[in-house]
Amino acid sequence: MISKRSFSQTALKRFLKKPQFNVKSIVNDLPQYRESIAKRQLVAGAGLLEGLQNLPEAYETIRGLNHKIALVQGQRKSLEAEIKNDRSKIEVRASEIKSLKSQYQLISKELDLAELKVTDMCSSLPNLVSPNSPATEPQIVHWINPQDSYEPDAKRDHVNIMVEKGLVDFQTASNVSGTSWFYLLNEGAELEQALVSYALKQAKEAGFQVCIPPSIVRNEVIDSCGFRPRDMNNEQQIYHINDTSLGLTATAEIALAGLGINKVMDLSKGPRSVVGVSRSYRAEAGARGKDTKGLYRVHEFTKVELFVWAKPEESTRLLEKLKDLQIDIVTSLGLSAKVLNMPANDLGAPAYKKYDIEAWMPGRGSFGEITSSSNCLDYQSRRLNTRFKNELTGKPEYVHTLNGTAMAVPRVILALIENFYCPTTGKITIPEPLRPFMNNRTCIE
């Protein structure tokens, strides 16, 4: 896909530490994990259930090997102490010590393999599911700018409007790059910049620090964040770069999570929150003919992403705070939308609980997702080795990570065009919060 000559292979050696899972806790929670796998309807569900079934035995194997090592080490120390007290026994005990060393090496090798097997089993497991998440259908928890009725209107189709006004060019992009790519032009491009600037403004006022992350990251980081190949709906989300260990990020969440790799964060003054702007890439946008028309599903787009590291006891509250910030942004843009508590079969692997906001898009004749926010508990932090120092115990513990969309630009542009276009005048009203970023214009002629 992208030339391997641009990257140094020597720089791509694995740098993540082996994940440290609480295997005892997972074994004790086997019914909850079985339920999580079943509810999420993951493609690899059958294999995951089989691995989960074998986990208790594998865990007991590790415990048994650790016990054997402890016995061998105890015998060895006893012999060494005996020799220390009586040097005349060196020759008599030397062969015994040598034998114990050999036993230790053999058991250690067996233990390493057993631990690797268990780590692989635990790494492949999805997160647990919040008991407050619905089973199979989204639950509406809030309406934003509700309307009396929602009627499809083909005259408001964003594709026709934007092409006619010279705001987008799909045809040339198709010739240059392929289907599901686009050029934003003129006020269309200005609208993108306005949305990014407005989202950053709102996020900064909410206490988020601004970050411009890389859009190419190591595959091991992508996997650790839970973006595994064909993770949901049998769709490949990630563009992997041939002949390298790198991939293009599907969201800034991946690179932002990487800021915490192998670190112990100081959360004594509260959670750490960053907002990142990046280009995002989706390998199977519009797969199997679904939503292939226009801006709803595209291969490359600009996205403003929110990311939070928090103490475990704070993550439930902070998910609600992320959701409320998203509601404020959507409300201020004047879009009519519904806030959804998402079911387990829409959570993917890392999320424990997730909210989506779907805006009304009259030209499409349906509601469409424009934001998402998730609490991933310690799913990502265990895999990325991100911890914080517990002030009470003085020991490091794994943080909880949360993520949310501040602005998925193409879909919001779609919603704005279809809602604020007037078929009579041909004008598109610009929402008031965006006007300062568009030379104080009130509309697109």
Tell whether residue 15 is among the known ligand binding residues. Answer: no
Q: Answer for the pair 381, 336: CB distance below 8 angstroms, yes or no.
A: no
* Among the listed residues 419, 421, 381, the one whose alpha carbon sits nearest the alpha carbon of residue 265: 381
Tell whether residue 369 is among the known ligand binding residues. Answer: yes
Tell whether residue 175 is among the known ligand binding residues. Answer: no
Tell whether residue 403 is among the known ligand binding residues. Answer: yes
Annotate 134-190 with DSSP letters as a single string: -SSS-EEEEEES--S-----GGG-HHHHHHHTTSEEHHHHHHHT-TT--EE-THHHH
SS3 208: coil
For residue 70, count other CB atoms closer than 10 A to its CB: 10
Tell whether residue 72 is among the known ligand binding residues. Answer: no
Phi, psi of 159 (to 5 degrees): -65, -55
The C-alpha atoms of residue 355 and residue 260 are separated, in whole angstroms, by 24
Q: Answer for the pair 46, 37: CB distance below 8 angstroms, yes or no.
A: no
Tell whether residue 251 is among the known ligand binding residues. Answer: yes
Q: Answer for the pair 244, 3: CB distance below 8 angstroms, yes or no.
A: no
The C-alpha atoms of residue 152 and residue 295 are separated, in whole angstroms, by 18
Tell whether residue 230 is among the known ligand binding residues. Answer: no
Q: Answer for the pair 76, 95: CB distance below 8 angstroms, yes or no.
A: no
Strand pairing report for 386-389 and 263-265:
parallel
For residue 210, count other CB atoms closer than 10 A to its CB: 12
Cβ neighbours for 332, distance < 8 A, ≥ 6 positions apart: 202, 431, 432, 433
Tokens of 389: 């120092």
Tell whether residue 299 is among the known ligand binding residues. Answer: yes
Tell whether residue 301 is among the known ligand binding residues. Answer: yes
Tell whether residue 400 is among the known ligand binding residues. Answer: no
Tell whether residue 405 is among the known ligand binding residues. Answer: no
Tell whether residue 118 is among the known ligand binding residues. Answer: no
Tokens of 279: 């280009």
Residues placed in the known binding site? 251, 282-284, 298-301, 305, 369-372, 403
Residues placed in the known binding site for L-serine? 251, 282, 305, 403
Residues placed in the known binding site for ATP? 282-284, 298-301, 369-372
